Amino acid sequence: MELHERSIAQLSAGLRSGEVSSTELTKHMLQRIRMHDAALNSFITVTEELALTQAKAADARIADGTAGALTGIPIAHKDIFCTRDVRTSCGSRMLKDFVSPYDATVVENLQRAGVVMLGKTNMDEFAMGSSNETSHFGPVRNPWDRETVPGGSSGGSAAAVAARLCIAATGTDTGGSIRQPAALTGITGLKPTYGRCSRWGMIAFASSLDQAGPMTRSAEDAALMLTGMAGFDERDSTSAQRPVDDYVAALGQDIRGVRIGIVREFMGEGLDAGVGASIQVAIDELKRLGAEIVEVSLPNAGLSVPAYYVVAPAECSSNLARFDGVRYGHRCAAPKDLEDLYKRSRSEGFGPEVKRRIMIGTYALSAGYYDAYYLKAQKIRQLIADDFRKAFAECDVIVGPTAPSTAFRIGEKADDPVSMYLSDIYTIAVNLAGLPGMSIPVQPSAGMPVGLQLIGGLFDEARLLNVAHQLQLATDWHRQAPAGF
Amino acid sequence: MSLSADDVAKIAHLARLAVAPGENAALGRELSNILDLVAQMDAADTAGVVPMAHPLDMAQRLRDDAVSEQNSRDRYQAGAPAVENGLFLVPKVIE
Amino acid sequence: MQWETVIGLEIHTQLATQSKIFSGSSTAFGAEPNTQASLIDLAMPGVLPVLNKEVVRMAVRFGKAIDAEVAQRSVFARKNYFYPDLPKGYQISQYELPVVGKGMVEITLEDGSSKRVGVTRAHLEEDAGKSLHEDFHGMTGIDLNRAGTPLLEIVSEPDMRSAKEAVAYAKKIHQIVTFIGICDGNMQEGSFRVDANVSIRPKGQAELGTRAELKNINSFRFLEKAINFEITRQIDVIEDGGKVVQETRLYDANKDETRSMRSKEEANDYRYFPDPDLLPLEIDEAFINEVVATMPELPDARRARFESQYGLSAFDADQLTGSRAQADYFEAAAQVGGDAKLTANWVMGDLAAALNRDATDFAHSPVTAVALGQLVARIKDDTISGKIAKDVFAAMWAGEGGADEVIEAKGLKQITDTGAIEALVDAVLAANPEQVENYRNADADKQPKMLGFFVGQIMKQSQGKANPQQVNALLREKLG
């Protein structure tokens, strides 16, 4: 098997046995990026020199026996994570020349585990988008069909992992930004429970929803990556103060008797028939493996998109106020006064989707509208969380489609924000409730990847990973690779 | 829900975004469409529901009162658009 | 028409913590620009706030000091507006649920009567940076060292009816926050900032008039002047048929007037919402008990103790508890001096005069409390007279050393040897036979005054060192 096709565990074994060095592996991956990324545009920055330095350090650790499971593994970071002395653009013109003076905790944690950073991946601007078309650095193309989108906002990470340009990548998920692109590109993506991974150094979109997670080619790789990323961080007040579970150890349990909940509301109208059929095949497979299938209901899930498009823009309108052209980031030429500095710097620095969301959020919070919008949305959030609590009384894991269709064509929804927003119809409720959610590839539909979403109770990542892993042991949907890469 | 040109101008000013007069109407239509989507919330009966500001039921953690930061001005200002004598410069603020 | 003035104050007190409210930067005053601005204070992308525990302790201490409810659960909100000294584009403050609820303080009015002033609430928030308007090629410079300094904003009820009442209330709050050690009270450095909401209404009318908010007041004296100017201005406006506009006005101490802040005229819409980066602040009984257990003595309690423990008059006790620094100074000095009343006189007299003359304060006095106590001890044990002590004090103030050192170096030790004093007395009496004769022939009620002449002569001869009591006794004996 070629190096880039191997799992993290296989590569780790190869590194330890001396079959391959991290430097060789890193050079191999850098070569693949050079060869293939022009067609995909999945990277904004490739940090070749840094990668080789880190690979050398990893080789030293492997030699002296202090290496861990991730030491020497070449990965990529979504360009939303601050990386010290490396450009951190967040996919925006606003930060196109921003070199971060510090590292995000997730970056730091993975660095401590010994990973090699190949570069920073493309993304929707400030993580606002579901197609990767809002990036200032141009759209990312889906390696399965380059006329289609890879999903978003972590589209660069998804495409890079799917095309085997990196072994794994980090992503962030505010309304589906890890799971939806994972589904559209046929990879495994996990959004952990809110508070499981630190948000320090992860450029904020919507603070009460944002969460970092791994994007990999298998549940087993995801378990290893999450182990490296997760943990309490005293710099993040919303970080969960509880130990990280042993995700890898949990992978071995069989799933007989695990109660799998199928959400009635997710399997009906609006779901593409081909996608629905693939989801059913996966459910049948879970049943065959001994899981108990039950039907559950999330009666308020339909309100998740409307509530999300109040909460997320409201928080983003405030979070993005710091981009004012004063201390860092884009500043307009020759501002004539303070107001001109603010307005032109921000209008030149932000793209149309970011501006739309800032406007919506500003409006929703403004005097006279707070109760009708923001407060109402927070109440709906509570209703949705209650729905999940009730559902998890009847099942252990909820499964269903990640996205209503396979990858759509570039440009298809670009002019219709509302139809774009509905691509996240199955993922958003999970963020509103703070739950862990995962997408794994199942049987493709018309040659394009389909994602199965698994949703767990709070901090139930180990169980999600285990169910996903057991399904992946029994099937080979996750092993399929796009042609030409 | 339909935002007037005046509404759009007011929101844009609050958000410190410049909207050219020509873009105003189109932007107003886009925002109104989004607000129509948002208006689906009205269907929910939320009487007596406690708003949920956070997914986790936790209280604020407190840190000890200790100075942990050193002066890193030069590094932090390396990417600043306009700096003089350690100060960030902006067009004259009139009070 | 008879007008009634209604005043409410908003007082911003900088809390005396080591580090900022949400970051580990130092809060020390006067550092080079932006050298105390961390990633968090600069609002770099991706940074997050974590609340300083000491800030919460201080807020609880204040709440308990004014008998207010301390909220079991309070919430930090974002107040959104753009300004260059506000790096995040929002200020983290408390809006709907403040940490301290309704409380009350008692102020003493000029006629000696007392009045209760309600405190509506006190909430925690972060300070903004500073805009420096010196000319940088027509630009303004931004220094974010102050950004993120913890503030407790104390909001009063509109209970005050005159500038003097407002000043009494502000001084009372100043006294409380300095006594409980949560604020250094330095108004020049902006640690204690007062904004006044002033309105007038016809006497007898229940509803409030339109108010103006006065800002930029950095002393109690200016507070009184600014309010009085504003009252006159509002009366003039109304009596000329105009209307008072609700606005923010800056006090200009040089011109002694308030003027409208035009740049803030536009209606603000702060879009408050709970800060999603912070969780609700929960304060339990144990936390409150711990704060109460370590609560420094409050000014009123300390005043009462000064009367009972040291036997001071009500006036002296009141004077000495004017500030915590003064009260601490007095107690430390009295302990060394061994005579509370005498110490009190020195603290309120010569020391206060010297501090005032050199524009310094108790905390920075060149003569420390212990040093003054040693001086008092030397008066008390008759080493020096009270008169000589003034010279010793002047030398100590000038940095010539401690009391004993100065007394020794200048040979100021009092003469108490009876033989030596008797020789002095005899010499003076022999040199002034005429005065001796006059004294002896004078009426008894005039004699004490005439005795002064001889005392003066003897003290002059002894360069002030003869013990005055002994001189008096001997003179009376010899003049018979």
Q: Does residue C423 sit in the same domain as residue C400?
A: no
What is the distance between the terminal CA atoms of chain B, rounded to a whole angstrom? 38
Identify any residues that bridge with C77 across adjacent strands, giving them in sequence order. C93, C274
User: Given 3-state DSSP classes, what are the helix, strand and coil percentages for chain B, each rounded to the nearest 5?
Assistant: 40, 10, 50
Give dist(CA A171, CA A180) in Å, integer. Answer: 11
Q: To the nearest whole angstrom, how far is the Cα of C259 from the nearest Cα of chain A?
A: 22
- At A281 the three-state DSSP class reads helix
**C-beta atoms of A363 and B88 within 8 A:** no
Q: To the nearest whole angstrom, how far is the Cα of B47 from the nearest Cα of chain C?
A: 20
Q: What is the arithmetic mean of pLDDT over A296-323?
A: 97
Give dist(CA C1, CA C140) in Å, integer. Answer: 47
Check CB contact of A39 with chain B, cutoff 8 Å: no
Q: Does residue C89 sit in the same domain as residue C194?
A: yes
- Cβ atoms of residues C97 and C70 within 8 Å: no
Q: Which domain holds residue C450?
A: 418-479
Weakest mean pLDDT among A163-172, A330-339, C76-85, C259-268:
C259-268
Residue B29 lies in a domain: yes
DSSP secondary structure of C295-354? PPPPHHHHHHHHHHHH---HHHHHHHTSSHHHHHHHHHHHHHHS-HHHHHHHIIIIIHHH
Check CB contact of B57 with chain C, cutoff 8 Å: no
Give dist(CA A463, CA B8) in Å, integer. Answer: 47
What residue in A sits closest to C81 (Cα-Cα)?
A321
pLDDT value, residue C266: 58
Q: At residue B95, does pLDDT exceed 60?
A: no
Instruction: Mention every residue, 6+ apart, whose C-beta is less than 8 A from residue B89.
Output: B82, B83, C136, C139, C140, C141, C142
Q: What residues of A are in the C interface, CB distance below 8 Å?
A: 81-82, 88, 90, 95, 98, 100-102, 104, 199-204, 206-208, 234-238, 314-315, 317-318, 320-324, 326-328, 338, 342, 362, 365-367, 370, 374
Give dist(CA A18, CA A12) in Å, integer. Answer: 10
**C-beta atoms of C87 and A82 within 8 A:** no
- Domain end among C383, C410, C437: C410
**C-beta atoms of A370 and C273 within 8 A:** yes
pLDDT value, residue A45: 98
Amino acid at C448: P
Tokens standing for A147?
Answer: 């006329």
Q: CA gyration radius for chain C?
A: 30
Q: Does residue C195 sit in the same domain as residue C302?
A: no
Q: How confident is the model at residue C322 (pLDDT cuts 50, 70, 90)?
A: confident
Residue A289 lies in a domain: no
Q: To the nearest whole angstrom, how far is the Cα of A87 from the nearest Cα of chain B?
A: 11
Neighbours of chain A (3+ CB pairs under 8 A): B, C
Q: How confident is the model at residue C121 (pLDDT cuts 50, 70, 90)?
A: very high
Instruction: Mention every residue, 6+ apart, whose C-beta is less than 8 A from residue C299.
Output: C175, C176, C179, C321, C324, C327
- Cβ atoms of residues C257 and C265 within 8 Å: no
pLDDT value, residue C262: 60
Instruction: Mention every residue, 6+ apart, whose C-beta is less than 8 A from residue A107.
Output: A77, A81, A82, A83, A117, A170, A201
Stronger pLDDT, A137 or C465, i.e. the higher one: A137
Q: Does residue C431 sit in the same domain as residue C361?
A: no
Check CB contact of C442 with chain A, cutoff 8 Å: no
pLDDT value, residue C267: 64
What residue in B sits closest to A330 (Cα-Cα)?
B81
Residue A123 lies in a domain: yes
Size of interface A-C (CB pairs under 8 A): 99
| Total domains, chain A | 1
| Total domains, chain B | 1
Weakest mean pLDDT among A150-164, A435-449, B52-66:
B52-66
- Cβ atoms of residues A343 and A410 within 8 Å: no
Which residues of A does the annotation mark as catalytic?
Answer: 78, 153, 177
Q: Does residue C214 sit in the same domain as residue C313?
A: no
- Cβ atoms of residues A471 and A287 within 8 Å: no
ipTM of the complex model: 0.97
Q: Does residue C382 sit in the same domain as residue C438?
A: no
What is the distance between the terminal CA atoms of chain C, rounded to a whole angstrom? 74
Q: Does residue C301 sit in the same domain as residue C194?
A: no
pLDDT tens per residue, range A398-435: 999 999 999 999 999 988 999 899 889 999 999 999 99
Q: Residue A386: what are its φ and ψ, rounded to 5°?
A: -65, -40
Q: At residue A54, does pLDDT exceed 70?
A: yes
- Domain end among C393, C410, C427: C410
Q: Tell me the chain A residues in contact with residue C49 when contact means C-beta distances shorter than 8 Å.
A: 237
Residue B49 lies in a domain: no
Q: Which domain holds residue A14?
A: 3-255
| Total domains, chain C | 3
Q: Does residue C36 sit in the same domain as residue C124?
A: yes
Q: What is the arithmetic mean of pLDDT over C470-477?
A: 86
- Domain end among C287, C312, C328: C287
Q: To the nearest whole angstrom, how far is the Cα of C245 from the nearest Cα of chain A?
A: 21
Distances (CA, A) of C276 to A237, B63, C92, C97: 10, 18, 11, 15
Q: At residue A381, does pLDDT exceed 70?
A: yes
Check CB contact of C142 with chain A, cutoff 8 Å: yes
% of residues, chain A, pLDDT over 70: 100
Check CB contact of B75 with chain C, cutoff 8 Å: no
**C-beta atoms of B67 and C82 within 8 A:** no
CA A317 to chain centre: 22
**C-beta atoms of A102 and C279 within 8 A:** no
Q: Does residue C233 sit in the same domain as residue C345?
A: no
Q: Pick from A99, A108, A235 the residue to mutate for testing the C interface (most C CBs within 10 Å).
A: A235
Which segments of C88-170 are extended strands (E)? 90-94, 103-108, 114-126, 130-136, 139-143, 150-156
Residue C292 lies in a domain: no
Number of C-beta neighbours around residue C174 at 10 A: 19
Give dist(CA A228, CA A247) in Å, integer. Answer: 11
Residue B86 lies in a domain: no
**Identity of the residue in C32, C261, C274 whose CB atom sits nearest the CB atom of B53:** C274
**C-beta atoms of A235 and C48 within 8 A:** yes
Residue B94 lies in a domain: no
pLDDT tens per residue, range C157-190: 999 999 999 999 999 999 999 999 999 999 989 9
Check CB contact of B50 with chain C, cutoff 8 Å: no
Q: Does residue C258 sit in the same domain as residue C305?
A: no
% of residues, chain A, pLDDT over 90: 96
Amino acid at C165: E
Assign residue A80 the CATH number of its domain: 3.90.1300.10
Stronger pLDDT, A275 or C479, i.e. the higher one: A275
Q: What is the arithmetic mean of pLDDT over C300-306?
A: 94
Q: How confident is the model at residue C127 (pLDDT cuts 50, 70, 90)?
A: very high
Check CB contact of A138 with chain B, cutoff 8 Å: no
Assign residue C460 the CATH number of its domain: 1.10.10.410
Amino acid at C330: F
Q: What is the arithmetic mean of pLDDT over A242-249?
A: 97
pLDDT value, residue C421: 85
Check CB contact of C280 with chain A, cutoff 8 Å: no
**Residue from C265, C40, A311, A322 nearest B15 by CA:** A322
Q: Which domain holds residue B20?
A: 5-43
Q: What is the arithmetic mean of pLDDT over C85-110?
A: 96
**C-beta atoms of A366 and B79 within 8 A:** no
Task: Give kind and range of the element (H or E) at residue A77.
Answer: strand A74-78
Q: Pick from C34, C265, C282 the residue to mutate for testing the B interface (most B CBs within 10 Å).
A: C34
**C-beta atoms of A366 and C46 within 8 A:** no
**pLDDT averaged over chain C?**
93
Q: To the nearest whole angstrom, how far is the Cα of B29 from the nearest Cα of chain C?
A: 23
Interface of B with C in 5-34 (CB under 8 A): 14, 16
Instruction: Mention every residue, 6+ apart, whose C-beta is less than 8 A from residue A218.
Output: A7, A188, A469, A472, A478
**C-beta atoms of A379 and B46 within 8 A:** yes
**C-beta atoms of A366 and C78 within 8 A:** no
Give dist(CA A172, CA A152) in Å, integer. Answer: 10
Q: Pick from A172, A318, A338, A371 the residue to mutate for testing the C interface (most C CBs within 10 Å).
A: A318
Q: How confident is the model at residue A279 (pLDDT cuts 50, 70, 90)?
A: very high
Q: At residue C307, does pLDDT exceed 80?
A: yes
**Identity of the residue in A194, A421, A433 whose CB atom sits nearest the CB atom of B37:** A421
DSSP A335: -
Q: Pick from B17, B29, B40, B64 the residue to mutate for testing the A interface (most A CBs within 10 Å).
A: B17
**pLDDT averaged over chain A?**
97
Q: How confident is the model at residue C449 (pLDDT cuts 50, 70, 90)?
A: confident
Rounded to the nearest 10 degrees, the angle between the axes of helix C468-479 and helix C447-461 is 120
pLDDT tens per residue, range A139-151: 999 999 999 999 9
**Residue from A422, A435, A454 nearest A388 by CA:** A435
Give dist(CA C23, CA C3) in Å, integer. Answer: 48
Give dist(CA A173, CA B72) in Å, integer. Answer: 32
Give dist(CA C66, CA C68) in Å, integer. Answer: 5
pLDDT tens per residue, range A179-190: 999 999 999 999
Q: To the nearest whole angstrom, how far is the Cα of B24 from the nearest Cα of chain A?
A: 12
Q: To the nearest whole angstrom, how far is the Cα of A348 from the nearest Cα of chain C?
A: 17
pTM of the shown model: 0.91
Q: At residue C72, does pLDDT exceed 60?
A: yes
- At B91 the three-state DSSP class reads strand
Check CB contact of C42 with chain A, cutoff 8 Å: yes
Q: At residue C456, does pLDDT exceed 90?
A: no
Q: How confident is the model at residue C265 (pLDDT cuts 50, 70, 90)?
A: very low
Check CB contact of C43 with chain A, cutoff 8 Å: yes
**Identity of the residue in C54, C143, C282 whose CB atom sits nearest the CB atom of B59:** C282
Q: Does residue C56 sit in the same domain as residue C144?
A: yes
Sort strands A259-263 and A397-401 into parallel, antiparallel or unpaired. parallel
- At A456 the three-state DSSP class reads strand
Weakest mean pLDDT among A191-205, C13-27, C449-463:
C449-463
Stronger pLDDT, B23 or C284, i.e. the higher one: C284
Sort strands A448-456 and C114-126 into parallel, antiparallel or unpaired. unpaired
Q: Tell me the chain C residues in contact with residue B80 when contact means C-beta distances shorter than 8 Å.
A: none
Give dist(CA A484, CA C242) in Å, integer. Answer: 81
Q: What is the arithmetic mean of pLDDT over A57-71?
A: 97
Q: Does residue C241 sit in the same domain as residue C357?
A: no
**Identity of the residue in B18, B77, B81 whose CB atom sits nearest the CB atom of A325:** B81
Q: At residue C389, does pLDDT exceed 80?
A: yes
